[in-house]
Amino acid sequence: SFRGGVFKSLSQAFTYKCVPQVSPPRPPGHPQYPPVPPYPQGPKVPPKDPTVHSCDVEDSQKVPCGNSDITAAACDAISCCFDGRHCYYGKAVTVQCTKDAQFIVVVAKDATLPNLDLESISLLGTGPRCAFVDSNADFAIYQFPVTQCGTVVKEETGVLIYENRMSSSYEVGVGPRGAITRDSHYDLLFQCRYIGTAVETVVAEVLPLQDPPLPVSALGPITVELRLANGQCYSKGCNEAYSSFYTDADYPVTKVLRDPVYVEVRLLEKTDPNLVLTLGRCWTTTDPNPHSLPQWDILINGCPYRDDRYLSTLVPVGPFSGVDFPTHYRRFIFKMFTFVDPTSLVPQKEKVYIHCSTAVCTVIPGRSCEPSCFRKKRNVRAVDQKQAQPNVVVSSGPVIMGAPSQ
């Protein structure tokens, strides 16, 4: 039976629920959000199909949902079942977003027909927090921070979106003339959405530190821009070629192989000099979608990708760089290249898009926000903290390879 007390009270969580269906199930729709409660916003409960008895769970297998004194109405509002005395999870996959920025996902094996193999479920990322925290014969319970397990952070106007994907693996039988499977396959894309001025979004604004406590009332989502400098120095004493930038009308920008590409990533709409913009991974693709393939890395953890024969160069932004807040900027240079077809090894001459994952931390004595590139000893404490922070991905317009000028 379920071992109680593993995860926190959910009486103020909001949920999205996917009911059982015949395999393969259709991808669920995104949750909808009502005006009440205002903090955080919760989705409307999807209409219930009277022919699906998702609440028929044996007493010995029931997983408690919400506080012990939760009402029937409150239980129904978070898409759980109520038997007159207790609130519990039904035979579905229930996703809940807590006010302290955690995903809670309760998976029933009866979510599909044939039943799901609860041992085959995985999230976008792996880690110690990404396995189920408890289970019984019919349910598996996952609880993890919205910044972990491969969660992708997106931003809309005034809203931060944390998105992850849960899927199940399946066994394939391969014969001399074909392949089959008899296993169901489940694939669920789920989100938590937080209003930008709410407390829940603080973790996306500033790298969480143990001391001193940070004020939360004025924090909100970050806005980051990636742009390309044109490499022309027009000001006296300029030696970094970041005095002018390509405009939207200039894209796609044409570069010759091995030409330098000048990249700048900057934090917008912030005036706090204690904030430091940091880069995680920077990479290129042939498609505007940063998750598309193929990919080639430029920076890893803010440092030049070591397996590139032509290492990229980090450009310091100091107090004499001509910007108001130097710590709000990151600059680097890499040499132009083109992707090669993996089978024929023929250069593709396709457009190249540049992407960077970014985060923001605060300057505190004794703790550095700077990357430790090519050092044998690293600031382990700072690295451990940065691994838990969410990333906001920013991208450039296309760059294409052109013929050298004669």
Domain boundaries, the chain: 14-199, 206-401
Q: Contact, 269 vs 321, CB < 8 A?
A: no
Other C-beta atoms lying within 10 Å of the C-beta of residue 58: 9
d(CA 367, CA 209): 10
The pLDDT tens digits along the chain (406 residues) read 444 444 443 433 444 444 333 344 444 444 443 333 334 444 444 444 433 448 988 888 899 988 888 899 989 888 899 998 899 998 888 888 887 888 888 988 888 767 788 888 889 988 888 988 888 889 999 999 988 899 888 877 777 888 888 888 766 554 444 454 556 667 888 888 876 544 232 222 223 333 333 333 333 456 888 999 988 776 665 655 788 898 888 888 888 878 889 999 998 888 888 888 889 889 988 888 888 888 888 999 999 988 888 889 999 998 888 888 999 999 999 888 888 877 777 777 778 899 998 888 877 666 778 888 865 544 444 443 343 344 566 677 677 756 554 4
Sign of torsion over alpha carbons 233, 235, 238, 240? negative
Q: Which residues of 224-236 are buried (b: 16+ CB within 10 A; e: fewer)?
A: bebbbbbbeeeee
Compute CA 303 distance to the chain's CA centroid, rounded to the nearest angstrom: 21
Give the pLDDT score at 256. Answer: 80
Other C-beta atoms lying within 10 Å of the C-beta of residue 376: 5
Tokens representing residue 29 in the block: 């729709």
Tokens representing residue 373 in the block: 């590139």
Q: Contact, 258 vs 310, CB < 8 A?
A: yes
Give the pLDDT score at 171. Answer: 60
CATH class of domain segment(s) 206-401: mainly beta
3 state SS of 194: strand
d(CA 55, CA 52): 9
Element at 170 (helix H, strand E): none
Give the pLDDT score at 172. Answer: 53
| Nearest Cα to Cα of residue 135 among 114, 107, 111, 168 | 107
DSSP strand pairing (399-401 vs 253-255): parallel
Which distant-in-sequence residues (6+ apart) come within 8 Å of 21 by Cβ? Answer: 111, 112, 113
CATH H-level superfamily of 14-199? Zona pellucida, ZP-N domain (2.60.40.3210)
d(CA 63, CA 139): 8
Residue 200's φ and ψ, nearest 5 degrees, are -60, -25
Give the pLDDT score at 17. Answer: 42
Q: Contact, 149 vs 128, CB < 8 A?
A: no
3 state SS of 186: coil
d(CA 136, CA 60): 9
3 state SS of 296: strand
Give the pLDDT score at 321. Answer: 82
Q: Contact, 100 vs 109, CB < 8 A?
A: no
The answer to whether the bond into 114 is cis (omega within 30° of 0) is yes
Other C-beta atoms lying within 10 Å of the C-beta of residue 221: 21
Tokens representing residue 113 in the block: 């027909």
d(CA 331, CA 243): 12
The answer to whether the bond into 326 is cis (omega within 30° of 0) is no
Tokens representing residue 361 in the block: 């931390």
Does 206-401 match 14-199 at the fold level?
yes
Strand stretches in 197-252, DSSP E: 223-229
Percentages (nearest 5) of helix, strand, coil residues in the chain: 10, 35, 55
